Chain A
Amino acid sequence: MLQSTVDINFILNLFSAENIKAAFSYSFNEPWFFTEFSFLFVFGFFLIIYSFIVEKNKWKNVYIILFSLFFYYKSSGPFLGLFILMIISDYLFAKYIANQEGLKKKLLLYLSLVYSLSFLLYFKYSDFVVLNLNQFAGTHFALNNLFLPIGISFYTFQSISYLVDVYRNELAPAKRFSDYAFYMTFFPHLVAGPIVRAKDFLPQIASPNIIDSRLYKESILRILMGLMKKLFIADYLGKYVTILHATPNGFSGFEHFMSMYAYSFQIYFDFSGYSDIAIGIALLLGYRLKDNFDGPYLASNITIFWRKWHISLSNWLKDYIYIPLGGSRHGVFKTYLFLLITMLIGGFWHGADWRFMFWGLAHGLALVLHKIWSTYVKINPKNMLFSFLGVVLTFNFVSICWIFFRSSSFEIAFESINSIFTKINFLEAYTFTMARPEITILILLSMLIVFTPFKVKNFLIEKSYKLPAFTYIILITLTLQLIIQFKDDLIQPFIYFQF
Chain B
Amino acid sequence: MENNDSSAKKTKNSKSIILLAGFSFIIPLLLLNIYDSSSLELSFSDIKLKKMTVDSAEPALNIKTAVKIKPNLLKNNNLKADSKKKSHNNHKLGAEKKELYLAINLDSIVYTKKADSSGHRIMIMGDSECGGLFSVLNDYCYQNGHELVASLVWNSATILNFAYSDTVIKAINKYEPTFIFIVVGLNEIYASDLKKRKSAAEILANKIKGIPYAWIGPANYAEDNGINAAFASAAEPGSFFLSKDLNLPKGQDGRHPNSLGYQIWMAAIANWLETEAKYHLEMKHPAIRGQKIRAKIINLNAAKYRGY
Contact = CB atoms under 8 A, between A and B. Distances in A.
Interface of A: 2, 5-7, 9-10, 13-14, 28-29, 37, 40-41, 43-48, 50-52, 54-55, 145, 147, 210-213, 215-216, 219-220, 236, 239, 243-244, 246-252, 254-255, 284, 408-412, 428, 431-432, 434-436, 438, 469-470, 472-473, 476-477, 480-481, 484-490
B294 interface: yes
Contacts of A481: 32, 49
Contact of A44 (B29, B32, B304): B29
**Which of B14, B49, B98, B260 is packed against the most chain A CB atoms within 10 Å?**
B14
B259 A246 contact: yes
A147 B301 CA distance: 10
A438 B17 contact: no
A472 B19 CA distance: 13
A7 B298 CA distance: 29
Given A14-B33, A51-B18, A476-B25, A489 B259 contact: no
Nearest to A145: B303
A6 B60 CA distance: 25
B64 interface: yes
Contacts of A428: 106-107
Interface string B9-45: 0110111111111111111110111101111100000
A254 B33 CA distance: 43
Interface of B: 10-11, 13-29, 31-34, 36-40, 47, 49-52, 56, 60-64, 98, 101-102, 104-107, 109, 111, 132, 135-136, 156, 251-252, 258-260, 262-263, 289-301, 303-305
A54 B20 CA distance: 14
B28 A477 contact: yes
Given A247-B259, A250-B289, 13 more contacts: A2-B40, A6-B40, A7-B38, A10-B36, A211-B21, A212-B17, A236-B60, A249-B259, A249-B260, A284-B21, A410-B252, A438-B62, A477-B27
Contacts of A5: 38-40
Contacts of B27: 473, 477
A444 B63 CA distance: 18
Contact of A246 (B56, B106, B135, B304): B135
Nearest to A219: B21
B135 A48 contact: no
A28 B301 contact: yes
A30 to B, nearest CB: 11
B105 A251 contact: yes
B139 to A, nearest CB: 9
Given A428-B106, A438-B61, A212 B10 contact: yes
Contacts of A2: 38, 40
B102 A469 contact: no
A37 B38 CA distance: 18
B28 A28 contact: no
9 contacts: A7-B39, A45-B22, A55-B11, A239-B293, A243-B290, A409-B252, A438-B62, A476-B24, A484-B32
A244 B33 contact: no
A494 to B, nearest CB: 16
B106 A480 contact: no
B15 A51 contact: yes
Contacts of B52: 37, 484
A435 B21 contact: no
B25 A44 contact: yes
A236 to B, nearest CB: 8
Contacts of A252: 105-107
Given A51-B15, A243-B290, A477-B28, A487 B106 contact: no
